[in-house]
A and B are shown apart, each in its own frame.
Chain A
């Protein structure tokens, strides 16, 4: 069955450092992958989308990579700030179902 894995342990880093979050998947051939941010008690907010034929996408301090051979995406936040503390979810989509499949998320805590 399809499986998406994100590190369930919280990631704690110091302010100013680069945070790197991982999303691995199995039994899936996604057409695209998305990253969302979710704050406690709120709905997820879209951050970035990367397609299967793209290797890397950037938006301000955010960078996403997508390796379809490794079946992995890495999400980087450079110059991290305490305000970046949240749970980050990866989501995969294909051209068939058209509904996203989400990972369980990784909680990021940026210490001042």
Chain B
């Protein structure tokens, strides 16, 4: 089955630690995205990538880092510099041609303890 997979579903992190969220897709999509969702709010764009080995900052990139070494994978690292990391993180992919739908993973809920 084609799709986009995020892992883990739940993640707990101690303050001051970096943590990496996984996102893998087998849809052969060029573009991948990371969004953050806080309770009662919409999705805010963290980073996006239109092609392998290239990515751009979104609206709230501070405290986050990404890599795009393979077409299928777009991991997100939440660094200790992120002041309020507790949130629901969503990864998505699309053909990148514009005018096309985005396919989302099931999300990772990160909690700082």
Chain A residues packing against B (C-beta within 8 Å): 4, 6, 8, 31-32, 34, 41-46, 49, 51, 89, 91, 93, 95, 98-105
Contact = CB atoms under 8 A, between A and B. Distances in A.
Given A99-B45, A100-B102, A44 B90 contact: yes
| Range of interface residues on B (Cβ < 8 Å) | 20 to 34
B42 A49 contact: no
Nearest to A101: B45
Interface of B: 6, 31, 33, 35, 40-45, 48, 50, 58, 88, 90, 92, 96, 98-107, 109
28 contacts: A32-B99, A34-B102, A41-B88, A41-B107, A41-B109, A42-B106, A43-B6, A43-B90, A43-B92, A44-B43, A44-B104, A46-B103, A49-B99, A49-B100, A51-B99, A91-B102, A98-B48, A98-B50, A99-B31, A99-B45, A99-B58, A100-B33, A101-B45, A102-B35, A102-B44, A103-B42, A104-B40, A104-B42
Given A43-B105, A43-B106, A102 B43 contact: yes
Give the interface centre of B43, B44, B107 by most chain A CB atoms within 10 Å: B43
B57 to A, nearest CB: 11
B96 to A, nearest CB: 6
B103 to A, nearest CB: 7
A10 to B, nearest CB: 11
B6 to A, nearest CB: 8
A93 B43 CA distance: 14
A91 B35 CA distance: 13
